Structure 1
Amino acid sequence: MGTDNEIEVWHAMRATYRRELDAVHLLEKENLGCFVPMQYKVSIRKGKKVRALVPVIRNLVFVHARPSDVQRVKSQITYLQYITDTRSGQKIVVPDHEMQRFIAVAGTYNDHLLYFQPEELNLSRGTRVRITGGDFAGQEGVFLKVKGARDRRVVIEIQGVIAVAMATIHPDLIEVIK
């Protein structure tokens, strides 16, 4: 397939040995779009509390580029690998609308977001909803009870890769999608 008729898609990838931030710098040098879900963590260094922005899930990088560009850069960055679907063996490609929704939520670096591996949640037990107000207005997800939270939360999932549960949202700001 020629590079002229390829479209840019989101690839779910791993950067082994905690080198996701190195991979992001190299990808940005190549003018390729990328996203790593980050979160603030408080740790103690030399007896002082330090608040630092760190990756939520180690080794996870989303790359927005044409497949041929990813293949070219991947040959230069040996520790960058595709994440494949365990059932089909196919590379995981995330639809743009799913990725935009995920970035809109995960890109806030909100301390109240909870992240899960896909197998930790049963989204089929929840209700599809749209948020009508507040910081996440317009976002759609699944409303369900998640572990680690007292109340139900709206969850946005990237199939087979990661899921994020938003901060508590008042029920008046949620509408059910039929």
Structure 2
Amino acid sequence: MEVDKETEIWYAMRATYRREPDAMHLLEKEGMGCFVPMQYKISIKKGKKVRALVPVIHNLLFVHARPSDVKRVKSQVTYLQYITDTRSGQKIIISDSEMQRFIAVAGTYNDHLLYFQPDELNLSKGTKVRVTGGDFEGQEGIFLKVKGARDRRVVVEIQGVIAVAMATIHPDLIEVIK
């Protein structure tokens, strides 16, 4: 009876020792939602350039499931851990809207996306904006200058976990949100 009342929520989790692909397969087999931010990297294997899809931040994954399901799977799998807020010690739980925005951007595997740790950016210096055209139409974020880019970018953040700066977007395709 209690299980029916539980709603699925997004957890920020860690799969230690670069086992995020294993964790992803296990979670999908259990019928749970899962997202790992990935991007293409070029590496040299046996003298040839190989373009492979790899996790942006090793060990990071997002799990969408009921708390009881996560607890059950976590008890069977030792390498799956919650990411906790350093100040409060609470598990990091992400709202559906925040996660949908993040997946809409990070899920494109665009080569021009830049990823940042939460302490690398000062989002309070930016302006809240909405993208009105192009690949990221409808997405909202903070418009600011980020290191590693010549121009200002729209940044979508998951509080305390990760931030992603979109590819360069023409200023005509950006509107300020009041």
Q: TM above 0.5, one fold?
A: yes
Match of 1:107 in 2: 107
Question: How many angstroms apart in 1 are the aligned matches of 2:143 and 2:2?
Answer: 42
DSSP-derived class of the 1:26 partner: helix
- Verify: 1:83 aligned to 2:74, yes or no: no
TM alignment of 1:1-178, pairs within 5 A: 2-178=2-178
DSSP-derived class of the 1:41 partner: strand
Structure 2, unmatched stretches of 5+, are none
- Aligned partner of 1:73: which letter? V
DSSP-derived class of the 2:84 partner: coil
Cα deviation 1:125-158 (Å, max 9, x = unaligned): 0000000000100000000000000000000000
- Aligned partner of 1:108: which letter? T
Cα deviation 1:35-54 (Å, max 9, x = unaligned): 00000000001110000000
Cα deviation 1:32-80 (Å, max 9, x = unaligned): 0000000000000111000000000000010000000000011111100
- Please identify runs of 4+ aligned residues in structure 1 that moved more than 2 A: none
- Aligned partner of 1:107: which letter? G
Question: How many angstroms apart in 2 are the aligned matches of 1:2 and 1:55?
Answer: 36
Give the Å deviation of 1:2.
Answer: 2.2
- Aligned partner of 2:66: which letter? R
Question: How many angstroms apart in 1 are the aligned matches of 2:169 and 2:35?
Answer: 25
Question: How many angstroms apart in 1 are the aligned matches of 2:11 and 2:74?
Answer: 12
DSSP-derived class of the 1:134 partner: coil
DSSP-derived class of the 1:54 partner: strand
Question: How many angstroms apart in 2 are the aligned matches of 1:76 and 1:154?
Answer: 40
- Aligned partner of 1:127: which letter? T
Give the Å deviation of 1:3.
Answer: 1.3
Q: Could you tell me the TM-score, scaled by structure 2's length? A: 0.99
DSSP-derived class of the 1:17 partner: coil
- Aligned partner of 1:5: which letter? K
Structure 1, unmatched stretches of 5+, are none
Give the Å deviation of 1:4.
Answer: 1.7
Question: How many angstroms apart in 1 are the aligned matches of 2:50 and 2:132?
Answer: 36
Question: How many angstroms apart in 1 are the aligned matches of 2:154 and 2:106?
Answer: 13
